[in-house]
A = this chain, B = another copy of it.
Amino acid sequence: MIVILKQNPNESQVAHLKTWLEGKGITVHESVGDSHVILGLVGDTSKLDKDLISALDIVEDVKRVQEPYKNANRKFHAEDTVIHVGNTQIGGGTLTLMAGPCSIETEEQIIGVAKAVKAAGATILRGGAFKPRTSPYAFQGMGADGIELLKLAKKETGLPIITEIMEISQLTLFDDVDIIQVGTRNMQNFNLLRELGRQNKPVMLKRGMSATYEEWLMSAEYIMASGNEKIILCERGIRTFETHTRNTLDIAAIPVLKKLSHFPVIIDPSHATGKSALVESLSMAAVAGGADGIMIEVHNDPEHALCDGPQSIRPEQFAKISAKLCALHGFMKTMED
């Protein structure tokens, strides 16, 4: 960490700062320039509070040299994190295919979709029980009943299940859920993250709508800081000025996150674009770009699909895409260095 002091800083305040830093085990290197004095802080600066130091009257700017996340950092955790659920794994060279409806609606629907996506190659079943909706008047999901139906579908098919949590008090409902999803609006719900860190269960952390990689990894750090290392990152598109697609899929997140951190990276083309016609090409791009898996919305009853988003595709389309993704994943393995 580098601290740039203002011109002609108060000497006793500078001394006070140095003493405070040294009390935290940091060595301070002072370097005097034409216009500014610069302090180079050497030691474990990941736990220093950058804002606290920036706040000082004598400080003009603070710049990090090291990343502020440590447990989530590839530099301190060289090997890939691999998550095991049911008979499958996420990361470690596997291609994970998560599929299922946006909202769980009926037993027939979820079991129908579950069987269809399993037959088509899906390895994990997704389905929404608690739905974050912009409008209080929109359907908010089936809630606890939805989770029960999802568990039935798991029993019926053997597929591990993933569904979204929206607040700490819902945790008791997630005992038989295999992976807990944290949605984009909760990426910085720090109380929820801290609590999920106390669970012994994989968490899939979706990127906040306008979050940077660093903020995203700091949220993963929150979960790890309370003890849970089973984290999956899911890029689901960020907000940009483009309105043709609902969000903009940041494909560079795949190689960047796999370099900065050690977590598996899943891509969600359904939410990233909001358009089913774009799901296939973005999924292919993601697999070629190195993603550990894809999460796709699949509905099974287009005639009555008043509750599925325009991003959902039908099981037969999913089967076709799934086959292509697996073929591409196999081909990519033949080209590894």
Contact = CB atoms under 8 A, between A and B. Distances in A.
Given A40-B33, A168-B169, A288-B284, A55 B138 contact: no
Number of chain A interface residues as a range: 35 or more
A135 B221 contact: yes
A319 to B, nearest CB: 13
Nearest to A192: B167
Interface string A220-232: 0110011000000
A269 to B, nearest CB: 8
B242 A2 contact: no
B286 A290 contact: no
A64 to B, nearest CB: 10
B273 A252 contact: yes
Give the number of times this chain occurs in the complex, counting copies: 4
Contacts of A286: 285
Interface stretch (A85-93, A108-116, A147-155, A207-215): A207-215
A94 interface: no
Interface stretch (A121-129, A172-180, A300-308): A300-308
A251 B254 contact: no
Interface string A127-161: 00000111111111000000000000000000000
Contacts of A191: 166-167
Given A33-B65, A47-B137, A241 B244 contact: no
B189 A213 contact: no
A156 to B, nearest CB: 26
A215 B132 CA distance: 13
Contacts of A261: none
Contact of A54 (B51, B226, B310): B310
Interface string A1-30: 010100000000100000010000000010
Given A51-B138, A57-B302, A284-B288, 6 more contacts: A31-B40, A36-B66, A55-B310, A136-B194, A167-B189, A284-B332
Contacts of A215: 134
A212 B166 contact: no
A238 B243 CA distance: 14
Contact of A185 (B55, B188, B281): B188
Contact of A335 (B134, B289, B324): B324
Contacts of A186: 189
A6 to B, nearest CB: 11
A164 B65 CA distance: 32
B4 A136 contact: no
A160 B277 CA distance: 35
A264 interface: no
Contact of A34 (B43, B168, B225, B240): B43
A209 to B, nearest CB: 6
